[in-house]
Amino acid sequence: MKIIVSKNGPYLVEGGVPLIWEEICNDDEGYCRKWKEVTRYPIEEKYALCRCGHSMNKPFCDGTHEKIQFNGTETAGNESYLRHPKVVEGKTLKLEDVENLCVHARFCMRAGAIWNLTRQSDIPEARETAIEEACNCPSGRLVLHDKGNGQVIEPELEKSIVVIEYPVRNEHGPLWVRGGIPVVSGDGKSYTVRNRVTLCRCGKSGNKPFCDGSHVEH
Ligand code: FES
């Protein structure tokens, strides 16, 4: 399985990667809490996903990128930002935070927010909630380490691509690439393979091919 970022065009997906549409659901207090699977598309060996944001057949490409002369220049560079995260230390957890990967899924805000929960991670309930929040972060902005065994805490994710929608706020989120599927740039360079990454599908990111939250109007 792999995803090729074509020059000024769509993502070319190969290897029969499952494609799923999921929605972010709020809890009764208005915090993002759960993922809901809405549609599982029939498995295709190859397909092309829109990254310009203008297809009339989303999430698939319909060729509109050519008509609008989409500039899809990749600017994510060598990803040195992954090596310099902000670090929050707690008693039992360490949080790494790469802020410019935020896609505004907002799972991290509940119960005092993940930064405070990490600092209070000697309290079992705070620790458990911090882990749930980090594992729901689709982009891998937030990564927790267990200070007891030194291991990274990562969710087990099916190799798949999820089209993220957030109907409560009418936000159309990025493509969530799960389970360590390689993403290859237009010039053949492989990006760092991670369990969770999110790809821009609105065309506005300043960190292409990755989402930087630009789909959200502020
Ligand atoms: S990338 Fe082809 S229509 Fe958007």
How many whole angstroms separate alpha carbon 20 and alpha carbon 15?
Answer: 15
Ligand 1 centroid – CA 192 distance (Å) = 24
Contact criterion met (CB below 8 Å) for 176 and 188: no
Using the Cα atoms of residue 210, residue 213, residue 217 and residue 218 in order, give the sign of their dihedral. negative
Q: What's the pLDDT at 218? A: 58
How many whole angstroms separate alpha carbon 174 and alpha carbon 138?
Answer: 9
pLDDT above 90 as % of the chain: 94
175 lines ligand 1 (CB under 6 A): no
Domain positions in the chain: 2-25+35-77+156-199, 80-153
Q: What's the pLDDT at 15? A: 98
How many whole angstroms separate alpha carbon 107 and alpha carbon 173?
Answer: 14
Kindly give, in sequence order, each residue whose CB lies less than 8 Å from that of residue 61, ignoring residues fewer than 6 positions away.
9, 10, 48, 49, 50, 51, 52, 55
51 lines ligand 1 (CB under 6 A): yes
Q: What's the pLDDT at 35? A: 97
Q: What's the pLDDT at 86? A: 95
Ligand 1 centroid – CA 79 distance (Å) = 25
Ligand 1 centroid – CA 23 distance (Å) = 22
Q: Which two tokens stand for residue 32?
A: 């993002």
131 lines ligand 1 (CB under 6 A): no
How many whole angstroms separate alpha carbon 157 and alpha carbon 140?
Answer: 12
Ligand 1 centroid – CA 208 distance (Å) = 14
pLDDT under 50: residue ranges of the chain: none
Whole-model pTM: value is 0.95
Q: What's the pLDDT at 77? A: 75
The residue length of the chain stands at 218
Contact criterion met (CB below 8 Å) for 94 and 86: no
Q: What's the pLDDT at 78? A: 66
Return the DSSP state at 190.
Answer: B
Dihedral angle over CA of 48, 198, 18, 182, nearest 10: 80
50 lines ligand 1 (CB under 6 A): yes
